[in-house]
Structure 1
């Protein structure tokens, strides 16, 4: 054997390959684009560090508007990628969150949590919660980030995410009900093509979440959460796609939440003829435009 050839410990296409020496090859989602001002929409973006100790960071988006009085809703966005690929800085997610900010006229914060397998779950859950707490520290206008101090109405905060990010969004809303966020009010949550566990055993999940308590862990199996009714928001929109292998998991979540005794309103919409996170890969399509408008309408309901 060539002494320079690294031995593979685990191979999980299309996401990553883990070698026995601990190094990792990610197969996609590694490209990044800098923050900018969008020439078409006028949305500004910038990167901020939330925790220098852990590297927790985010990309902020500020829509172009003639007046910030009254202040704008805050969208906390959590990217997907199986907990292990992609970032807020990749072209797909930068463009998507920028488009949502423009369409819905919201300030958006896209969280860069630490990713598995180098940082196995539940680190991503804890990072997301830490980022939300950091944002909540601006509710009195005295936080370290001026865009949040000056332009955000903290009584109109929303969570959203796709795939694994939708999972993280749900767990954050669930934790907000238990631990609280002071004067911050999470109004609603949009889950796009959400990833939750099912009855099939996943070797990849064993690697990236070695401390998971089993097939009843509420973070991965919210439909089995006896306290699902304690969700820390009043409105939920679940978006699924007809040809997505995760479609039924979105429907299962919707039905479980609807029957849980939760006092809020949950709705579900299915896009015909589309696959998982189609809107990221074909953002100019009619269906992607429709999804964007569905999100904007949800954020702007009275």
Structure 2
């Protein structure tokens, strides 16, 4: 009787790492392990300031997209308020418009500035690879613009929003997305004007995290992808009148943020650009230590920019 030897099946080591980045690691079997857990808070009313928040549906197709809207205590129902469209950071794969740090930050900022804020809950990698968050944020911007004539789906924006004083802003990756939106508005138009953009500790290309961003975005065009590293011709046409950039001296993104600022100045951008730097502070210090003097300073300067006429 003949016996045929059969080789055992090849054993796959599911723990073998293919890529390790700042926010996650990717395994060779396709799994992705994000290092940061995202917590979420329900909307609420702040008993001290009277700021209210609620969650709204932006769209149901092609994916379910939501946002959190913040309304300050209304002192005069006839007074219209500036509007801030806020895009949170988190490496495009963590955090949320509903997370404690961003919920609390927006509550504080809305109370200080007396503005309405809309914070988009964009899809996160790996469930929604890039450029998903850019498209979600564009959909959120279109949703806000649908209220410009006072007949949109949300009564807070219809009744209290001043669409001649509309701003965008965000921190880290959210600042990056804000830049993309302003470039896209310049090309495609919008039912309202963007008066200003606030970028807090912005992420742009030119560092080790470029590889992470490109991994998350399978359709990327390389290190000079215009979403990652905006070219001068895009910066020149940003659709806003003024920009405020916050830097933190010890931020790992300080160098690429500074390079973006220099590019912006050299691009021919027609608006004004302001910079505020907090010495001795690290990335997003105001979110993780919101009670410090420098965190309060950031909020006050952010609010002053939104209220300047």
Query: TM-score normalized by structure 1?
Result: 0.93
- Measure the CA separation in 2 of the matches of 1:201 and 1:301: 35
The offset of 1:98, in angstroms, is 1.1
Gap runs ≥5 in structure 2? 1-10
- Measure the CA separation in 2 of the matches of 1:244 and 1:19: 29
1:283 matched to 2:290? The reply is yes
1:104 matched to 2:113? The reply is yes
The offset of 1:269, in angstroms, is 1.1
**Greater mean alpha carbon deviation, residues 279-288 or residues 246-255:** 246-255
The offset of 1:255, in angstroms, is 1.4
Q: Which residue of 2 aligns with 1:71?
A: 80
- Measure the CA separation in 2 of the matches of 1:10 and 1:147: 47
1:1-302 equivalence runs, <5 A = 6-7=14-15, 10=18, 12=20, 15-19=23-27, 23-53=31-61, 54-182=63-191, 184-198=192-206, 200=208, 202-222=210-230, 224-302=231-309
Equivalent residue of 2:281, what SS?
coil
Preserved CA contact (<8 Å) 1:72 1:105: yes
- Measure the CA separation in 1 of the matches of 2:190 and 2:213: 30
CA RMSD of aligned residues (A): 1.9
The offset of 1:28, in angstroms, is 2.1
Preserved CA contact (<8 Å) 1:73 1:152: yes
- Measure the CA separation in 2 of the matches of 1:178 and 1:13: 33
Preserved CA contact (<8 Å) 1:239 1:250: no
The offset of 1:227, in angstroms, is 3.1
Equivalent residue of 1:186, what SS?
coil
- Measure the CA separation in 2 of the matches of 1:88 and 1:23: 25
Preserved CA contact (<8 Å) 1:244 1:276: yes
Larger Cα-atom Rg: 2
Equivalent residue of 1:50, what SS?
strand
Preserved CA contact (<8 Å) 1:218 1:225: no
Query: TM-score normalized by structure 2?
Result: 0.91
The offset of 1:133, in angstroms, is 0.4
Preserved CA contact (<8 Å) 2:40 2:100: yes
Deviations along 1:36-64, one digit per CA (max 9) or x if unpaired, are 00111110001111112212110110001
- Measure the CA separation in 2 of the matches of 1:95 and 1:140: 30
Preserved CA contact (<8 Å) 1:56 1:113: yes
- Measure the CA separation in 2 of the matches of 1:209 and 1:271: 32
Preserved CA contact (<8 Å) 2:150 2:158: yes
Preserved CA contact (<8 Å) 2:210 2:223: no
The offset of 1:7, in angstroms, is 3.6
Runs of 4+ in structure 1 off by over 6 angstroms are none
**Greater mean alpha carbon deviation, residues 45-54 or residues 187-196:** 45-54
The offset of 1:185, in angstroms, is 1.4
